[in-house]
């Protein structure tokens, strides 16, 4: 099958969230460590290399045999369960941090059976020094397109500066909460110094490095679905558009709560 409007040649970009053996009450983005490893085994058959820097992605976003691996929210489980498996395969990844929740529980998320803790500063620095690309998932995980220009700038610039203070490195990648963005968000992200941006929502025309479409990996995805994502299969991309409606419902729910 063909690919989305960003072009048939765009390398596959996969987004993960929680990699944890413990269950959650709601949501479909938690993978067990065993299932996560299985997805990487499938990825490795097609893509022996992973994107290891923002520069590398920008220089060749259509590289054959490469994959970009993204982890939203920067949960503590990344260090315990995801990073060792990534290292086993020789992969690197983008890790997107919600800066107001560094070292805290995920109270911003939907209610669950238990809280999922986020990584602390020391772990973020250690992972950065180990080759993980640290990026921003904004300051407080709000839907950016619903905010004023001042609020958007605060969400993007504050988180960028704080992460740069922690890692001592430029932070040039952003993952938009809920996949939510518009042209105003893209413009402010560019002005703030971001060079690449990722969203689970459909990309924009013309091609933009600040609106690259990623494909979320869900807990119920079969081996076949993982393979289809790697092919950027048209039907799989359409299925993901339906699945991503869950993010929109979460956004509406949080808006009603005034978050």
pLDDT tens track for 218-237: 999 999 999 999 999 989 98
**Where does the pLDDT of residue 253 fall: very low under 50, low under 70, confident under 90, or very high at 90 and above?**
very low
Other residues' Cβ atoms within 10 Å of the Cβ of residue 233? 19
| CA-to-CA separations, 166 to 115, 192, 195, in angstroms, rounded | 24, 18, 19
Residue 2 domain-assigned? no
Residue 234 domain-assigned? yes
- Which residue is associated with the tokens 């690309």? 133
Residue 7 domain-assigned? no
**Where does the pLDDT of residue 157 fall: very low under 50, low under 70, confident under 90, or very high at 90 and above?**
very high
What CATH number corresponds to the domain at position 121? Answer: 3.20.20.370
Domain encompassing residue 122: 13-256
pLDDT at residue 250, as a whole number:
56
Domain count, the chain: 1
Report the Cα 165 to chain-centroid distance in Å. 21
| Closest by Cα among 176, 92, 94, 173 to 133 | 94
What is the DSSP track for 192-220? Answer: HT--EEEESSPPPSS--GGGEE-EEPPTT
* Through-space distance between the first and last CA atoms of the chain, rounded to whole angstroms: 40
| Closest by Cα among 229, 183, 232, 233 to 210 | 183
**Could you tell me if 92 and 86 are in contact, meaning their C-beta atoms sit under 8 angstroms apart?**
yes
Residue 127 domain-assigned? yes
pLDDT tens track for 191-213: 999 999 999 887 666 789 999 99
**Could you tell me if 116 and 76 are in contact, meaning their C-beta atoms sit under 8 angstroms apart?**
yes
Mean residue pLDDT across the chain: 90
Residue 8 domain-assigned? no
Residue 221 domain-assigned? yes
CA distance 259 to 40: 35
Residue 237 domain-assigned? yes
pLDDT at residue 257, as a whole number:
47
**Could you tell me if 102 and 79 are in contact, meaning their C-beta atoms sit under 8 angstroms apart?**
no
Residue 4 domain-assigned? no
**Could you tell me if 185 and 172 are in contact, meaning their C-beta atoms sit under 8 angstroms apart?**
no
């Amino acid at each position: 099958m063909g690919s989305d409007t960003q072009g048939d040649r765009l390398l596959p970009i996969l987004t993960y969230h929680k990699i944890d053996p413990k269950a959650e009450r709601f949501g479909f983005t938690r993978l067990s460590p065993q299932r996560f490893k299985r997805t990487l085994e499938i990825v490795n058959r097609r893509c022996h290399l992973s994107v290891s820097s923002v520069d590398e992605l920008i220089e060749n976003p259509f590289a054959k045999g490469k994959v970009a691996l993204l982890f939203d929210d920067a949960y503590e489980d990344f260090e315990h369960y995801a990073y060792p498996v990534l290292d086993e395969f020789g992969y690197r990844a983008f890790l997107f941090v919600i800066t107001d929740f560094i070292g805290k529980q995920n109270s911003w998320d939907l209610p669950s059976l238990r809280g999922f803790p986020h990584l602390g500063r020391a772990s973020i620095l250690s992972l950065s020094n180990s080759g993980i690309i640290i990026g921003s998932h904004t300051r407080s995980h709000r839907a950016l397109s619903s905010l004023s220009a001042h609020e958007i700038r605060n969400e993007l610039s504050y988180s960028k500066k704080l992460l740069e203070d922690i890692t001592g490195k430029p932070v040039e990648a952003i993952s938009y909460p809920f996949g939510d963005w518009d042209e105003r968000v893209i413009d402010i992200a560019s002005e703030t110094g971001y060079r690449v941006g990722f969203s689970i929502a459909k990309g924009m025309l013309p091609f933009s490095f600040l609106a690259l479409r990623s494909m979320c990996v869900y807990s119920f995805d079969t081996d076949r679905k993982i393979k289809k994502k790697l092919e950027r299969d048209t039907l799989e991309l359409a299925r993901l558009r339906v699945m991503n409606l869950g993010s929109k419902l979460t956004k509406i729910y949080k808006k009603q709560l005034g978050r």
